[in-house]
Amino acid sequence: MLKRLSIYTIFVLAFAVLFAAGPAKAQIGNSGSIDGVVKDPSGGVVANAMVDISNPVSGFKRETATGNDGSFHFSNIPFNPYHLTVTAAGFASYTQDVDVRSTVPTTLQINLKLGTDVQTVKVEANGGDLVENDSTFHTDVDQAITDRLPLQSTTSGISSLVTLVTPGIAADSNGLFHGMGDHAQNSFSIDGQPVSDQQSKIFSNQLPTDSIQSLEVISGAPPAEFGDKTSIVIKVTTRSGLGVTKPTGRVYGTYGSFGTGNVGLNLAYGGQKWGNFIAANGLNTGRFLDGPEIAVLHDKGNQENVFDRLDYQVSGPDTIHLNFNFTRSWFQNPNTWDQQLHTCSAGFNCPAGVALDPVPTGVQPPMGPTDQRSQIKTYNFAPTWTHLISAKAIFTFGGFVRKDQFNFYPSADPYADFSPALQAQTIGQDRKLTNAGLHADYSYVKGIHNIKAGITAQHWFLTENDTLATVDPGFSALFNQLDANGNPIPNPAGGNWNCAQMRQLTEVGPCQTLASVDLTQVGGKPFLFHGHTDVKETSLYFQDTITKGSWSFNLGLRGDLYNGFVSDKQPEPRVGVAYNIKRTSTVLRLSYARTMETPFNENIVIANTGCSIPVIAVLVPPPNIPCASGFIHPGWRNEFHAGLEQAFGKYLVVDAEYLWKYTHNGFDFGVVAASPLAFPLDWHNSKIPGYAIRVSVPNLHGFTGLVVLSGVAARYFPPQVGGIPFLPAPGVFRIDHDEKFNETTHLQYQPWKRGPWVAFNWRYDNGLVAGAVPCSAPTATCFASTSTADGGGNASIGAGEVGFVNNLTGLPLTADQQFQAGFTCQGVGATPTTPIPASVLQPDGGCLASQFGSKYIRIPAFGKENDDHNPQRIAPRNLFDASVGADDLFHGDRYKWSLRFTVINLANKVALYNFFSTFSGTHYVTPRSETVELGFHF
C-alpha cells in the first residue's frame, strides 16, 4: 500500500511543480511539431509563403501557408526525418532536412533570398535524406499508403495494415498476427497511451482505420520507453482537427460480397487553439470471422465504432488532448458442416470406436445447427495534458481507462453444441477486462542529447464468469480408467470404459467427476466458474539518444514491477548504436534489449486456477492428459539485432535486419473446443531467430512500391509450466507461428495528381506449422496414429500407413474434418458428409504413407517428419488483392466525389490459415470478395 501511495505521490508532485514552470508555446499530443518564421533578406516577414514537409518513404505530406507575421506551424507530426520546402513569389525556393525525434517542438528561422535559384540547407545528396540514422528497425506508414491499401479485414484494420506493410509478420485468422515469431506479444501506443491487451476480432475491438494518420511499427530492439509486450510495438498517431478552420471530412458507403455493407463518416474542424476530429462507422456482413469451412456457415456479424479526438490549447504552454472510443461488435461463431448438419450426432452414423451411452428422451436428434455467438464492447477514455517548460523541455501527463467486455453465448439448445470429435461441452463466458493507469514523461533536447524519462502505473481489473457442462453422453468413455499407480485398468468388455462400467469401480474417475455437470444425465447442471483478480504493473525508464557526427547511440534503462498471481521485477538495459556512411547513403546498426514479457490478461484467472478445480481439469484438457500446470510467470528475454539500411539514389531504399531472441517462459494460447475462447499457457522457453527485409520505392512519377519479406523461426521447449489446457510435448517443437518465408508486395500508381489510381497486393506465405495432422510415425505433434482406432473401426494401423485420427485426442476424424484438410488417399478425397472411401484404403482402414496427401497441408514424407526441423505445414499460398479508384470524379474544388472498387483474393485461392491447431483451431483464408465504395469529400 505504501509503495502504491508513493508512486501516486510522485505523479502529483511532478504535476504541481511542472505546472508552475515558465510559459512558452504549447505542443499537443505525443508526437512532434515544427514551428518557424519565414523572412526576406532585410529581415522582414514573408506572408503567404507556401511551406510543405514530406517523407518520401512513409508517404507523409503536409503543406501550409505562412501568416501575416511570417510564421507557420505543423502539429501532430510522427517522429521521422522530413524534407521541408518553402516557396514564395519573387524569392528563391528554399529546401531543408528536418529531423523530428521528440515532443519538444522543432523551431526554424528561414531567410529567403531574392531570385529564382534553389537555396539548399543541410540536404543530403545521393539519397541520404531517405535513410535514418536510427539503431531501431522500424516501418513508417502514412495515409498516402494506408488509404489505398486493399485490406483483408475491415473490422481489424490496424492488424491488417501491420501484417501487409511490416516484415516479420505471419498472418493468422480473425485479425491475429504473429509478430517476429511470437503470438500476441504486441503492444500499441495510441497517442502515447499504452495498450498491451489483445487486439483481434475474438478478443477486443480496434480503432476505425480512418481515424489513423500514421503508423510506426517497431520490430527491432525496443527503446526503454516501451515494455510489457514488445515483440512488435505499434505507435499510432491519430488524426486531429487542430487548425482546421473549415470543416473537412468525408461521408462514404460500401457494399460487397457476403451482403457486406458499411457506412461511415469522419469530420475534422476547429481553430488555431482547438480542434476536434470524429470518425464513426457501422458494418454488417455475412462473413464476420474466418471460418473452418470453405463455405460460409453461420457467420453473420456487425460492428459499430465511434472515435473522437479533442485538442484544446488552454494557454501558451498548455494543451489538453482527449481521446474517446467506443466499439461494439456482435457475431456468430462459424460452424463446421458437422455442427451445421449434426451428421454424426449421438446414435446416428457415428464413427466406429466411439462408445456412447443412451441419450435421454427429449434430447434425441435431429438437433438444430450449433448457434454460438459473441459480443464485445470496448470503451476507451484517455485525457493527456502537455506542458511546454521551455524551448528545450516538455512534460506530458496523462491517464486512461480502457474496458473490454466479452460475452460468449452457447446455443439456446445446449445439446446443439455437441459435435463428436470436435466439441463435447456447452460453454458460456462473461469476461471483463478493465485497464486503468497514469503515465508521465519528461523530454529534453540539447546539443547532441535527446533525453526522455517517464513512469507508468497500470492496474488491470479482471473478472471471469464461465459456465461449462458436457453434452456428450459418451464423453467419459474417452478416458482410460487408471489404477493407483497411474496404469490403465483393462476393460473386460474391450475398448475404453463407459460411464456405467466406471461407476462400478471404487476408483474416482472422470465419470464421477462429471456426473454433476453432465446434461445428458438426470440432475446434471452447468458448472459455474467465477474468478476475479487485480494485476498491477509499474514501469520507470530513462533513455538518451546521442547524435555525434555520423554516430547515433541509444542508451536506456527500464525497470518493471509486476504484481499479479505472481510477483516479479526486472531491470532492463537497452543499448543501440548506428553509424551513417554518408558517402554511400548507408546506415549500419546493432542493438540489444533485455525485456520482461508479461502474461496475457485474457482468461488468466481460469488458466492459473483451473487445474485445481476437478471439473475444469477434466473438461478442458484433451482426454487422458492430466491437468498439472502451474501459475503463469512473467518471462525474461534477451534479444539481439543487427541490420543495415541502404539508399540507391533517390528511388530505392533497402532495410534489412537479423534478430535472435531467447525467452525464458514463452507464452501462447490453447483453444477450448470449437469456440473462440482461448486460455493462456506458458512453456519453459523459446528460441526465435529470423530475418526481416523492407524495400521501399518513394514516389516516382506517380508510382510507389513497398516490398516486405521475412523468415522467422519459433522453437519452443517443453515442459509446459503454466496455464490450461495442458498440452504435453516430449521434445522441442515448432509452434504454429513459425513460418520459413513470407512476403508482401504493394504497388500504387497514379499517373497524374487528380487522375484515377490503381493499387495491387501480392502476399505469399510459405505456411505456418500445422496442428494435429495424421502421419505414419509418432512424434510430439503426431503421437497416436499407430495405435488408435481409425474412421473405419479398426483398432490398429499397420507400419508405414496413416490412420485418419486426431493425433491430439486420438478420436477418429469425421468426414468433414478430412474434407477441411483436403486429405486424399490415392488422390481420392472426402466430402463434408462422406469420408475417404474404403475402396482406396488398405484392408485395415489405413492409407499407405506413399499414397497419402493433402491439397491444403504439406505433409513430410514417410519417416521424415521432425517436430523441430521438418514439421507438417500449411501448404504455400499466393493471394492477390487489387483496388482501382478515383478521388475526384468530377474535378471539384471544395466538394469532391470518390469511387473505388476492391477485390480481395482476386484468384479465389482456397487455402488454410491452420488446421486443428491447439492454439488457433481450423480456419480458411477469405474467399474472393468484391467491394464498391462511394464517398463524398468536403
* Dist. CA 679–CA 629, nearest whole Å: 12
Specify the higher pLDDT residue, 390 or 477: 390
Dig out the grid coordinates for 477 from the structure: 468413455
- Beta pairing class for 186-190 and 60-65: unpaired
DSSP-derived secondary structure letter, 793:
S
Dig out the grid coordinates for 51 from the structure: 511551406
pLDDT digits (tens, 9 = 90+) for 674-700: 788 889 999 999 999 999 999 999 888
Q: 664, 638 in Cβ contact below 8 A?
A: no
- H runs (alpha helix) in 579-680: 604-609, 614-619
Query: Would you place residue 796 in the very low, low, confident or very high pLDDT band (cuts 50, 70, 90)?
Result: low
* Dist. CA 67–CA 48, nearest whole Å: 6
* Dist. CA 808–CA 729, nearest whole Å: 11
Q: Which of 198, 275, 285, 287 is nearest to 238 (CA)?
A: 275
φ, ψ for residue 710 (rounded to 5)? -165, 165
Determine what percent of the chain is predicted with pLDDT higher than 70: 85
* Dist. CA 602–CA 406, nearest whole Å: 10
Please tell me the number of Cα atoms within 13 Å of 51 on its side-chain side. 28
pLDDT digits (tens, 9 = 90+) for 255-265: 999 999 999 99
- According to the model, what pLDDT value does residue 450 have? 94
φ, ψ for residue 512 (rounded to 5)? -65, -40
Query: Would you place residue 353 in the very low, low, confident or very high pLDDT band (cuts 50, 70, 90)?
Result: very low
Average pLDDT over residues 887-913: 94
Least confident segment among 46-50, 203-207, 518-522: 518-522
* Dist. CA 785–CA 810, nearest whole Å: 8
* Dist. CA 778–CA 788, nearest whole Å: 12
pLDDT at position 795 over 70: no
- According to the model, what pLDDT value does residue 330 have? 96
Per-residue CA distances from 223 to 153, 415, 592, 595, 742 (Å): 30, 52, 10, 10, 26
- Dihedral (CA of 445, 34, 576, 538) sign: positive
Average pLDDT over residues 781-810: 57
* Dist. CA 67–CA 243, nearest whole Å: 13
pLDDT digits (tens, 9 = 90+) for 155-185: 778 888 899 999 999 999 888 889 999 988 8
- According to the model, what pLDDT value does residue 147 have? 84
- According to the model, what pLDDT value does residue 329 have? 96
853: helix, coil or strand?
strand
- Dihedral (CA of 415, 420, 425, 431) sign: negative
- According to the model, what pLDDT value does residue 784 have? 39
Dig out the grid coordinates for 209 from the structure: 482505420
122: helix, coil or strand?
coil
pLDDT at position 139 over 50: yes
* Dist. CA 293–CA 270, nearest whole Å: 49
Least confident segment among 46-50, 401-405, 585-589: 46-50
User: In degrees to the nearest 10, what's the CA dihedral of 643, 648, 652, 656?
Assistant: -10
Specify the higher pLDDT residue, 711 or 515: 711
- According to the model, what pLDDT value does residue 699 have? 83
Q: 119, 103 in Cβ contact below 8 A?
A: no
Residue 40: Cβ within 10 Å count = 17
Determine what percent of the chain is predicted with pLDDT higher than 90: 56
- According to the model, what pLDDT value does residue 701 have? 86
pLDDT at position 125 over 90: no
Q: 690, 231 in Cβ contact below 8 A?
A: no
User: In degrees to the nearest 10, what's the CA dihedral of 693, 695, 696, 700?
Assistant: 180
Specify the higher pLDDT residue, 254 or 78: 254
* Dist. CA 1–CA 190, nearest whole Å: 30
Q: How far is CA 645 from the centre of its chain?
A: 26
Q: 478, 809 in Cβ contact below 8 A?
A: yes
pLDDT at position 3 over 80: no
* Dist. CA 18–CA 453, nearest whole Å: 14
pLDDT at position 646 over 60: yes
Least confident segment among 110-119, 367-376, 403-412, 819-828: 110-119
User: In degrees to the nearest 10, what's the CA dihedral of 797, 865, 629, 199?
Assistant: -120
- According to the model, what pLDDT value does residue 782 have? 54
Dig out the grid coordinates for 371 from the structure: 448457434
Residue 588: Cβ within 10 Å count = 16
Query: Which residue has 488509404 as its cell numbers?
Result: 147
User: Which residues lie below 8 Å from residue 287, measured CB to CB, with a gap of 6+?
Assistant: 257, 258, 260, 296, 299, 926, 929
Q: Looking at the DSSP assignment, which residues form a beta bridge with residue 140? A: 216
Per-residue CA distances from 700 to 53, 59, 85, 747, 890 (Å): 17, 12, 18, 12, 26
Q: 141, 215 in Cβ contact below 8 A?
A: yes
pLDDT at position 129 over 60: yes
For the whole model, what pTM was predicted?
0.88
Average pLDDT over residues 872-881: 96
311: helix, coil or strand?
strand
* Dist. CA 508–CA 517, nearest whole Å: 16
pLDDT digits (tens, 9 = 90+) for 385-440: 999 999 899 999 999 999 999 999 999 988 889 887 788 889 999 999 999 999 99
pLDDT digits (tens, 9 = 90+) for 541-585: 999 999 999 999 999 999 999 999 999 999 999 999 999 999 999
Per-residue CA distances from 645 to 135, 282, 335, 707 (Å): 10, 41, 47, 14
pLDDT at position 351 over 50: no
Per-residue CA distances from 918 to 520, 915, 921 (Å): 27, 9, 6
φ, ψ for residue 437 (rounded to 5)? -170, 170
Residue type, 680: P
Please state, rounded to an integer, the average pLDDT across all residues of the chain.
Answer: 85
Q: Which of 190, 677, 603 is nearest to 432 (CA)?
A: 603
- According to the model, what pLDDT value does residue 415 have? 85
Q: 708, 161 in Cβ contact below 8 A?
A: no
Q: 246, 273 in Cβ contact below 8 A?
A: no
Least confident segment among 57-71, 335-349, 396-410, 459-473: 335-349
pLDDT at position 935 over 80: yes
- According to the model, what pLDDT value does residue 775 have? 67
Query: Which residue has 513460418 as its cell numbers?
Result: 739
φ, ψ for residue 179 (rounded to 5)? -90, 120
Ramachandran assignment for 87, one of left (phi > 0), alpha (psi -120 to 50 degrees), beta (any other): beta
Ramachandran assignment for 793, one of left (phi > 0), alpha (psi -120 to 50 degrees), beta (any other): left
Environment class of residue 557 by beta-carbon count within 10 Å: exposed (0-12), middle (13-18) or buried (19+)? middle
Which helix or strand (DSSP H or E) is residue 812 part of? Answer: none
- According to the model, what pLDDT value does residue 114 have? 85
Dig out the grid coordinates for 103 from the structure: 515532443
